Structure 1
Amino acid sequence: MTSPDTETNTTETTAPDAAEKIADAVTEATSTDVAKAEVVEEEDPQTVVFSLVGFFLAYIPLVGVIVNGIAVAKAGKEGFDLFLAKWGLVLAILSTVGALILVGLGFWLGLEAGRSGM
């Protein structure tokens, strides 16, 4: 049979094993949280600058479309969702279409004025 000393020794050897298992579990959980925190990506500053510049250049007809197109493409390629770049592209397209309409209207009115003046 076992003596009381032997039972105590087996209990003492399992207690440190349990403590080591708990310590390993805590270390693993902490390292997993740190790894998850490192996975978070920051937005590329160049993409943010393109979207801001494009948004402000949206009212210059063709330049705004080009710059905002680049900003939207870079944001999509890098996996970012840049709200400002998309709105800048929409405004630039509307501005370009509006400018083309005004140029066409001016050309048409100029032709009409030339015909009626003869």
Structure 2
Amino acid sequence: MTSPDTETNTPETSGNKADDIAGKLAEAVTEATQSDATSEAAEEEDPQTVVFSLVGFFMAYIPIVGVIVNAIAVAKAGKEGFDLFLAKWGLVLAILSTVGALILVGLGFWLGVEVGSSGM
């Protein structure tokens, strides 16, 4: 008789090779499933980083604010090791909208000066 302290969870060898192979296969599948679950849990994205990315992407068309929020989102994602496609595209769109707004303001100022100086 064995005491509960000396019992192990290893399958007893019954002499049947098919049973031994099936037992080893079941153990390998269990270990692989557990390691996949732990690696997926370790790679989950931080909800705050995702929120920054979404807010930054939607604020990309507000010239300076969009650049600031998206820069924070990209920096936060890089620091935590996440590759956030949305944050990078938001930053690109924010920079383009800021440059476009500056071009329009400059063009408006230039046209205003031209019309003001030639009209008098």
Normalised TM-score (structure 2): 0.72
Gaps in structure 1 of 5+ consecutive residues: 1-13
**How far, CA to CA, are the matches of 1:48 and 1:35 in structure 2?**
25
1:101 maps to what in 2? Answer: 103
Task: Please report the RMSD computed on the Cα atoms of aligned residues, expressed in angstroms.
Answer: 2.5
Give SS of 1:36's match: helix
2:86 maps to what in 1? Answer: 84
Residues 13-52 of structure 1 mapped to structure 2, 5 A cutoff:
27=27, 30-31=30-31, 33-40=33-40, 41-52=43-54
**C-alpha distance after superposition, 1:16-55 (max 9, x if no partner):** 8x989x8688547634541332122211100110000001
1:73 maps to what in 2? Answer: 75
Aligned residues: 105
Normalised TM-score (structure 1): 0.73
Identical-pair percentage: 73
Equivalent residue letter for 1:39 = S
Q: Which has the higher helix share?
A: 1
Instruction: Give every structure 1 segment of 4 or more consecutive aligned residues whose post-TM-superposition deviation is greater than 2 Å.
Output: 22-33
Larger radius of gyration: 1
